[in-house]
Structure 1
Amino acid sequence: MMRRLLPLLAAVLLALQLGGCGAGAGNDSNAAPSPSSNTEAPLAASPSGSPTAARPEPSASESPSASAPAESVRPEDPEAALLNAAKEVVGALRDRDLKRLASWIDPELGVRFSPYAHMDEKNDLVFKPEKLPTFKDAEALTWGSYDGSGEPIELTFRDYFEKFVYDQDFAEAPDVTANKLLGTGNTPFNGKELYPGSSFVEFHFPGFDDKLEGHDWESLVLVFVPSGDQWRLCAVVHSQWTI
């Protein structure tokens, strides 16, 4: 019986020895490490030859070709800028805001007040921004001559303003035009001749009484001169049917 077990025991011992040798080989410190998911990204050569860390490809949202080009900014249309300036001025006149009005007056030319479409270069009153009269001024000034009679127009600034500047609600005028007059009569408008390079905006009422067939039309004409990229007020002209 004992003789039969000896070969079996020898086989078991041999198997245990061979298994121990295999485990030792697996723990050998000189063996090459296996790849791991925690290893750093490989280095890629830069154009200069020095290694640089590999960078991921940009996504579609990060790619320069995927971003839309910036929209170009268009300069404001000159006529639109002129109309905007005129609306600001007529708003100041409506509100009787002389401080706001003065801020639009050309500092060199001042602002001319004309009771009729044809401006009188010699006799019209012209005021620099800092010299603009106030509604409290009691002194009567001569603003020209009445159409027809030729009598002098002698009024305080307040009275002149109410009769020859804002006698209608021109801010709500039904017709507003730039560099084109709707109200015309036998008194020609001479703004372009008096102020070369100027532009104007007309606030026009075609009439108020149907029986008068439009002969009672009225306009407020604001004349502007360019100043850099802005417009400056140089004349406030009242226009109506004249004899």
Structure 2
Amino acid sequence: MKNLIIPIFILSLLTACKKNPEKPVPNVIDSMAQAKEKNLEAEAEKKKTDIVAIKKTNDDILLALKNKDYKAFASFIHPEKGISFSMYGFVDPGEGTHFSKADFEKNLPTKTLFTWGAMDGSGDPYKATINEYLTKWVFSKDFTASQYSLNKFLREGNSLNNLQKIYPGKDFTENYIKGTEKNGDMDWKTLRFVFEEFEGKQYLIAVVNDQWTI
């Protein structure tokens, strides 16, 4: 009698499967594939959100610089990593100027001179207050009317551009103003911002100017 139980059970199971073909046995591989697809969709959606957030932050920073509202500019500085400045496209961590957010805000209203780098051609150190540097060097042209790009260089000078090597994997924007015909397009300028997300918000970790160098 016991020997008949197993064949009867198997027969019943096969009959049930034939009657319910629309209910297949769960497939682990399919489940994993669906989970991966959902993760990819989530990542793609996040990337779209980041693209919009970075563009808005880029434009807000440019507006703050145009209005010389440097307190507003300071609000975009990364709370933990601070901000670095580079006078030209070649970023030299040992030569550029770095501030924590607190130090930037503390020195903003002062007349303290900082060395921001060396002038192209002469090699003379460029010394200025924070206000002077932002006004005369960083925003030397109205970049609110510039051409915008994300993670793409629109123009590079004759010096090495190592931004992606110094900030690997970071999102960056480029705000490019082409040169004039009068000067053979040699007076072009570009302003780049490097971003890093912190607690769901995009913050500025570097400001890199670039132009034609000798």
1:221 aligns to 2:196 (yes or no):
no
Size of the aligned set, in residue pairs, is 168
How far apart in 2 are the matches of 1:103 and 1:81? 15
1:169 aligns to 2:142 (yes or no):
yes
The one-letter code of the counterpart of 1:238 is N
1:137 aligns to 2:123 (yes or no):
no
Which ranges of structure 1 fall in alignment gaps of 5 or more residues? 1-73
Deviation at 1:99, TM superposition (A): 2.1
Indicate if the aligned counterparts of 2:65 and 2:135 stay in contact, CA closer than 8 A. no
How far apart in 1 are the matches of 2:80 and 2:166? 15
How far apart in 1 are the matches of 2:157 and 2:71? 33
Deviation at 1:82, TM superposition (A): 1.5
Indicate if the aligned counterparts of 1:102 and 1:132 stay in contact, CA closer than 8 A. yes
The one-letter code of the counterpart of 1:149 is S
2:192 is paired with a residue whose SS is strand
Counterpart of 1:96?
Answer: 68
Q: How does 1:61-100 map to 2 (within 5 A)?
A: 76-100=48-72
1:232 aligns to 2:211 (yes or no):
no
How far apart in 2 are the matches of 1:87 and 1:119? 23
1:163 is paired with a residue whose SS is helix
The one-letter code of the counterpart of 1:115 is M
Query: Could you state the TM-score of these two structures normalised by the residue count of structure 1?
Result: 0.64
Is the radius of gyration larger for structure 1 or structure 2? 1
Deviates more, 1:182-191 or 1:162-171: 182-191
Counterpart of 2:151?
Answer: 179
Q: Higher relative contact order by CA 8 Å / sep ≥ 6: 1 or 2?
A: 2
1:120 to 71, 81, 92: 92
Deviation at 1:121, TM superposition (A): 0.6
Counterpart of 1:27?
Answer: none
Indicate if the aligned counterparts of 2:157 and 2:210 stay in contact, CA closer than 8 A. no
2:182 is paired with a residue whose SS is helix
How far apart in 2 are the matches of 1:195 and 1:106? 14
Deviation at 1:190, TM superposition (A): 2.1
Counterpart of 1:159?
Answer: 132
How far apart in 2 are the matches of 1:83 and 1:226? 13
Query: Could you state the TM-score of these two structures normalised by the residue count of structure 2?
Result: 0.72
1:158 is paired with a residue whose SS is helix
Indicate if the aligned counterparts of 2:118 and 2:124 stay in contact, CA closer than 8 A. yes
Query: Greater helix share, 1 or 2?
Result: 2
Indicate if the aligned counterparts of 1:192 and 1:199 stay in contact, CA closer than 8 A. no
Q: How does 1:12-23 map to 2 (within 5 A)?
A: none
2:158 is paired with a residue whose SS is coil
Which ranges of structure 2 fall in alignment gaps of 5 or more residues? 1-44
1:30-87 deviations in Å (ceiling 9; x for gaps): xxxxxxxxxxxxxxxxxxxxxxxxxxxxxxxxxxxxxxxxxxxx65433222111111
